[in-house]
Amino acid sequence: MFKQDFKYYKSKKPPPSYENVLDFDSENILHKVIKRERITTNSSLFGLIPTEEWEIYDIKENPGLVFIKNPFTRLGQRYWITRCLKSYPETPNKTNLDIHDLIPHNETWWESSKGDNEMLKKLRWATFGYHHNWDTKIYSENSKSIFPKDLYFFTKHFAETLSFNLFNPEAAIVNYYHLDSTLSGHTDHSENNLEAPLFSFSFGQTALFLIGGESIDVKPTALYLKSGDVIIMSKKSRLCYHGVPKILNCVNKSWNLNENFDKDELIEDFIDKNVLNLCCDNDKWERFNNYINNSRININIRQVLRKGEIKVNK
Ligand code: OGA
Ligand code: MN
């Protein structure tokens, strides 16, 4: 069932009907989801609207799957897009380009792809913290880089707001998608700790996301992941099949909406000030803007170790 639906939504000819895709901008989904009560402990963090204003949903067909409708400010979206393009693909983080040795050693991918569209399109993933090993799927103490402070505190904020107080961000994958990219169905089961939730942030163009059951025979739910949307795969949904059969051009470029930058937005110590400057200056932002106008970026964050474990024992 998963494969069949994946193929259906991936198809260009004939194009699929989107009528059954959950769209959190539409009123028609209310029988399929449960909207949570607003959070009353008002707290906020750089780049996010106050937690009181978050719209959080549980999806009836997929217990454990939590959806937060874009809680980011415009500046917040720009910040994470810029981090993912400028900083996270830098060594010692790993990317799919490493083995090809395409980038001069004194340059970063972002620098060397300036004016080089081919190079720009070549980056598909970056990993940091414990590196995801795409072949063996085994994490190793010998293969890790520092987990960046900003993403660490940020993910903790999401976790604590949703009462996953013990969650510890230890591994991240950033996926870079173009309008013709797909991600085939899979489960994420390599972490020693499979009770901990998995956090996923989406920016840029819209993904059509499928999530089914622990077996490939379960018919998946189809939903849109738009710029700024967050999903959490927890409990029963943590080990479910999921994938991205299609990227769609978004309607609403919410990273460019004409709200004023909030000059009073509290700037925490762990925010990268250079990156922030790039986002606030429309000229400097231009290259990042061109990229995200045709691409999607997904950051997904996992805990690897079990409680009390100090290293992976493999
Ligand atoms: C992954 C993944 C989903 C997405 O990297 O494991 O499932 O939304 N990504 O890109
Ligand atoms: Mn996955």
Pocket test for ligand 1, best of 191, 194, 200, 246 (most atoms within 8 A of CB): 200
DSSP state of 144: B
120: tokens are 């720009």
Contact partners, residue 25, CB within 8 Å, separation at least 6: 226
Write out the E strands in 149-238: 171-178, 183-186, 198-204, 206-211, 221-225, 230-233
**Which residue's CA is the closest to the ligand 1 atom numbered 8?**
298
Q: From the CB of 209, is ligand 1 less than 6 Å away? A: yes
Q: Rg for the chain (alpha carbons), in Å?
A: 19
15: tokens are 């194009």
Q: Shortest CA distance to 4 belongs to which of 219, 222, 215?
A: 219
Q: Once rounded to an integer, what is the mean pLDDT over residues 171-195?
A: 95
Q: From the CB of 300, is ligand 1 less than 6 Å away? A: yes
The whole-angstrom separation of Cα 159 and Cα 169 is 10
Q: pLDDT band for 262, please (50, 70, 90 cuts).
A: low
Nearest atom in ligand 1 to the alpha carbon of residue 125 is 5
Sign of the four-CA dihedral 205, 73, 287, 283 = positive
Q: Is the pLDDT of residue 263 over 60?
A: no
Q: From the CB of 242, is ligand 1 less than 6 Å away? A: yes
The whole-angstrom separation of Cα 282 and Cα 32 is 40
Average pLDDT, the chain: 93
Give the Cβ contact number of residue 19 at 10 Å: 7
pLDDT, tens only, 109-145:
999 999 999 999 999 999 999 999 999 989 999 999 9
CA of 112 to the centre of ligand 2 (A): 29
Q: Is the pLDDT of residue 257 over 90?
A: no
Edge-to-edge strand ranges of the sheet holding 221-225 = 183-186, 242-248, 206-211, 221-225
Tell me what pLDDT residue 177 has: 98
Tell me what pLDDT residue 27 has: 87
**Which residue's CA is the closest to the ligand 1 atom numbered 7?**
243
CA of 187 to the centre of ligand 2 (A): 6
pTM score, two decimals?
0.96
Q: Once rounded to an integer, what is the mean pLDDT over residues 202-215?
A: 98
Q: Once rounded to an integer, what is the mean pLDDT over residues 169-185?
A: 97
Q: Is the pLDDT of residue 94 over 80?
A: yes
CA of 246 to the centre of ligand 2 (A): 15
Tell me what pLDDT residue 79 has: 95
Q: From the CB of 126, is ligand 1 less than 6 Å away? A: no
Range with the poorest average pLDDT among 62-71, 129-138, 252-261, 297-306: 252-261
Q: Once rounded to an integer, what is the mean pLDDT over residues 165-171?
A: 97
Pocket test for ligand 1, best of 125, 127, 131, 300 (most atoms within 8 A of CB): 300
**Which residue's CA is the closest to the ligand 1 atom numbered 6?**
188
